[in-house]
């Protein structure tokens, strides 16, 4: 359901392709995440089928089962641990249905796995299902990959009136307000003062944040169509593909713990992840980050709390991270990326 989780599960695809190189792999996806499928190596197709989160939606389950039955699949990996996630594969009669017991899904799954709670990370739980039962976890999983043709990036830049220089992409949104660093407007102003182009990337929910960042930079400095050079552009929109292309074109991405952070890292864009209430060990991209930004000004007993809303310490796990600190790291990351390109 979530963008970041969908990107991380490309690791599962890579494990499957290593195990069965000649078997095609399709992904069940929501409309939101569907554009990602086009950029995932090893995926044959995406099956776009939206399900409501709050109810069983029996007609939708039967419709999905009919669609799956027509494809004549041999194996289904049911990654979510919910009962309703296993209904359609069972109704479709897929011969091998693999998943953790989860919500006591006896009868729906026929290849049960145990020990889910002993696996610490999201990717350990999911990628283990792609391995033979009982196989030990590898020291390192293959990392997610997203590949965007350079021609597509060039067309996107031209369509949006963007220059060819390195830009800094800001991803100020996240699921849960506690994961949102609040100093993006100040950081954007400092970046523009240093002669850098800034793009604000996100979905419709981030439109207000983008407008706040643009306003902080000030009138007369915001870039517009056909305007290259220092300035800030609001590139938020309804199509996730736009966010993928922005992250692919950027010289560095600065992001909260969010789906766009995982997209940028999987694309190979140098990515800075800002963490407060969540643990980088559990939630940072497997690809690695150019910089993991966490506050170190004081010891907070509540950090990481994994909560979506701050209830103690006045959100100091994020407020203690200064805009000047983040901008300094961004300049270093850009310099290192430039050195790698020219060396």
Least confident of 80-84, 196-200, 307-311: 307-311
- Which pLDDT does position 193 carry in this prediction? 93
Statement: residue 340 has pLDDT above 70:
no
Nearest to 222 by CA among 207, 239, 235: 235
Residue 219: pLDDT band by 50, 70, 90 thresholds?
Answer: low
Furthest-apart CA atoms within the chain: distance in Å: 64
Statement: residue 226 has pLDDT above 90:
no
Statement: residue 168 has pLDDT above 60:
yes
- Which pLDDT does position 165 carry in this prediction? 79
pLDDT in tens, 228-265: 346 899 999 999 999 999 999 999 999 999 999 999 99
Statement: residue 225 has pLDDT above 50:
no
CB burial readout 97-123, b (16+ within 10 A) else e: bbbbebeebeebbeeebeeeeeeebeb
Report the distance separating Cα 76 and Cα 58, nearest Å.
Answer: 20
Report the distance separating Cα 144 and Cα 142, nearest Å.
Answer: 7
Assess whether the previous peptide bond of 190 is cis (omega < 30° from 0): no
- Which pLDDT does position 29 carry in this prediction? 97
3-state secondary structure of 324: helix
Report the distance separating Cα 274 and Cα 187, nearest Å.
Answer: 13
CATH classification code of 3-128: 3.40.50.2000
Report the distance separating Cα 110 and Cα 132, nearest Å.
Answer: 14
Residue-wise DSSP of 74-133:
SEEE--S--SGGGHHHHHTT-SEEEEE-TTT-BTTBSEEE--GGG--SHHHHHHHTTSPT
Angle, CA 238 vertex, CA 237 and CA 244 arms, to 5°: 75
pLDDT in tens, 37-68: 999 999 999 999 999 887 889 999 999 999 99
The mean pLDDT value for 281-290 works out to 93
Higher pLDDT, residue 337 or 239: 239
Angle, CA 218 vertex, CA 213 and CA 222 arms, to 5°: 75
Q: Taking a C-beta distance cutoff of 8 angstroms, is the pair 91, 62 a contact?
A: yes
Beta strands at 45-48 and 75-77: parallel, antiparallel or unpaired: unpaired
Report the distance separating Cα 182 and Cα 179, nearest Å.
Answer: 9
- The reply to whether 3-128 and 150-342 are identical in fold is yes
pTM of this structure: 0.93
- Which pLDDT does position 190 carry in this prediction? 96
Report the distance separating Cα 134 and Cα 233, nearest Å.
Answer: 50
Q: Which two tokens stand for residue 96?
A: 């091998």
Statement: residue 227 has pLDDT above 80:
no
Report the distance separating Cα 200 and Cα 210, nearest Å.
Answer: 6
Domain spans, the chain:
3-128, 150-342
- Which pLDDT does position 301 carry in this prediction? 85
Number of helical (H) and strand (E) elements in the chain, helices listed first: 14, 11
Q: What are phi and psi of 256, to 5 degrees?
A: -70, 180
Please state, as a whole number, how many other Cβ atoms lie within 10 Å of the Cβ of residue 228: 14
Q: Which two tokens stand for residue 164?
A: 């060819």
Higher pLDDT, residue 111 or 165: 111
Q: What are phi and psi of 45, to 5 degrees?
A: -160, 160
Q: Taking a C-beta distance cutoff of 8 angstroms, is the pair 271, 144 a contact?
A: no
- Which pLDDT does position 313 carry in this prediction? 82
pLDDT in tens, 16-43: 999 999 999 999 999 999 999 999 999 9
The mean pLDDT value of the chain amounts to: 91
Angle, CA 281 vertex, CA 278 and CA 282 arms, to 5°: 65
Domain covering 150-342: architecture: 3-Layer(aba) Sandwich (3.40)
């Amino acid at each position: 359901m979530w963008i970041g989780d969908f990107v991380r599960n490309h690791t599962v695809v890579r494990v499957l392709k290593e195990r069965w190189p000649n078997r095609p792999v399709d992904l069940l996806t929501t409309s939101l995440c569907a554009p990602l499928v086009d950029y995932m190596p090893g995926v044959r197709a995406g099956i776009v089928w939206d399900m409501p989160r709050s109810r069983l939606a029996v007609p939708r389950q039967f419709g999905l089962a009919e669609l799956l039955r027509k494809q004549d699949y041999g194996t289904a990996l049911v990654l979510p641990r919910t009962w309703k996630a296993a209904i359609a594969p069972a109704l479709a009669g897929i011969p091998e249905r693999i998943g953790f017991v989860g919500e006591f899904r006896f009868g729906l799954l026929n290849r049960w796995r145990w020990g889910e709670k002993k696996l610490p990370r999201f990717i350990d739980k999911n990628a283990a299902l792609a391995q033979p039962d009982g196989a030990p976890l590898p020291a390192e999983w293959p990392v997610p990959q997203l590949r965007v043709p350079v021609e597509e990036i060039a067309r996107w830049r031209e369509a949006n009136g963007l220059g060819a220089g390195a830009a800094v992409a800001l991803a100020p949104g996240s699921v849960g307000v506690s994961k949102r660093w609040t100093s993006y407007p100040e950081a954007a102003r400092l970046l523009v003062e240093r002669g850098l182009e800034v793009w604000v990337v996100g979905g419709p929910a981030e439109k207000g944040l983008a407008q706040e960042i643009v306003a902080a930079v000030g009138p007369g400095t915001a870039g517009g169509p056909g305007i290259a050079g220092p300035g800030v552009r609001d590139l938020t929109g309804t199509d996730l593909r736009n966010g993928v292309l922005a992250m692919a074109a950027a010289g560095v991405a600065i992001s909260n713990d969010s789906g766009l952070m995982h997209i940028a890292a999987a694309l190979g864009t140098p990515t800075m992840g800002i963490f407060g209430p969540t643990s980088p060990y559990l939630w940072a991209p497997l690809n690695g980050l150019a910089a993991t930004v966490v506050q170190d000004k004081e010891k907070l007993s509540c950090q990481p709390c994994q909560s979506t809303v701050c209830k103690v310490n006045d959100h100091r796990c994020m407020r203690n991270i200064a805009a000047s600190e983040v901008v300094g790291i961004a300049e270093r990351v850009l310099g290192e990326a430039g050195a790698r390109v020219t060396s």
